[in-house]
Structure 1
């Protein structure tokens, strides 16, 4: 089997000392290729347009153009580029906004290199990185602000107008319990900040199977990522936190 190509990573950090330390940790790792760096959001957008990396390690607290704005711009022009946010512990409000803007997860600054590498691989494989020590605080934001979720609280008001005579109402059980036992189990793990790899080990499943279950969960709940799925799971009473 040919060796997998390294993951092409672009690093955005406005403090040169921290940037150098990040590069020192990542450079030379066989699974990672650093293809560029930037000290500002504006410079990052210019370089990302030229290099189109697989994953961006993005500092949330950039001057002028914030990491949230950078995330929004990158996902609008290059939706397949995954974004991993670097943050500090008291920035959960901003992390929430970054996830809403399209970030695939976050790490606390100062995380060990093995955690950074694991997180890069996770988001590159289509997963999401939510650390347990911040996951509960993020979820509290969703609980106090239910309207922020992507799915309206009332079920599809436009549907009866579209085809009132042909529409068949869903069975009560399907409306109350839209997920299978396994899907609920996986969603509960997601709410605890468990990664795809960890969930696969805990449930004795392959990572591909976990991803398939996640795709089914997203489709059934009409969401696009883990945080939205957990939000809907809480709102519908499918999981507890």
Structure 2
């Protein structure tokens, strides 16, 4: 991944009421050559005012704010700021908060035990088109994902889950191949393209081709949207419990 040019820094805003955390994040972002911290907000009300004054590329959002839920801000950004990405940064690591955040429009989810240097790298990944997820979150969600329902097609054939397992009707015109399903599973688990390439023992360009095909077949243009759409079609089930 190439770094942004010096004159095209990634503009970041932070929404968090934890003063110590804000201080740590502020220092880390200020000292990174590819990031520019525009402003910080402690409350939901301040966050809306901040967005009126600034045009960030990325907003780091805590879910538990004194005057409301960070999900409200994520929904607002998703609906009104198409050029801005939201990444959750919170103490909540349970499945319900993760799914609610994805549905609201978040494209990344980090827990507050994430190291500061990793937060900075995740901001860069998010702006580059990735969907960073804390490893602990990916591990928890891993057991919830099901690539096939019990009555789905055999492993050696293209797969499309039965519409009865999905709240939305199955409208996938071209089924995903086995390899595309394998990539989709790993995308849903939060793996980056380089990690998928290593696990599948293929080149990163091959993985990129698979992802483009998945996006085209699912009619989406981001990792988060692909996971959400695949869930709607019944290819994976974010809410299923063993």
TM-score, with length taken from structure 2? 0.73
Q: Greater helix percent: which structure? A: 1
Q: Distance in 2 between matches of 1:86 and 1:214?
A: 26
Partner of residue 3, structure 1: 5
CA contact (8 A) 1:55 1:124 kept: yes
Question: Could you tell me which of 14, 18, 26 is aligned with 1:15?
Answer: 18
Residues 152-191 of structure 1: matches in 2 within 5 Å? 152-155=167-170, 174=174, 178-191=175-188
The C-alpha deviation readout for 1:9-66, integer Å capped at 9, x for no partner, is 1111112122112112222111111111111112112212321101111111112221
Partner of residue 65, structure 2: 62
SS, match of residue 33 in structure 1:
strand
RMSD: 3.2
CA contact (8 A) 2:28 2:117 kept: no
Consecutive unaligned residues of structure 2, counting only runs of 5 or more, are 147-165
Task: Return closer, same or farther for 1:200/1:6 CA change in 2, 3 Å cut-off.
Answer: farther
Alignment coverage as a number of residue pairs: 211
TM-score, with length taken from structure 1? 0.74
Q: Distance in 2 between matches of 1:111 and 1:137?
A: 16
Displacement of 1:197 in angstroms is 4.2
CA contact (8 A) 1:13 1:58 kept: yes
CA contact (8 A) 1:56 1:84 kept: yes
Partner of residue 101, structure 2: 98
Partner of residue 36, structure 2: 33
CA contact (8 A) 2:28 2:120 kept: no
Displacement of 1:230 in angstroms is 5.2
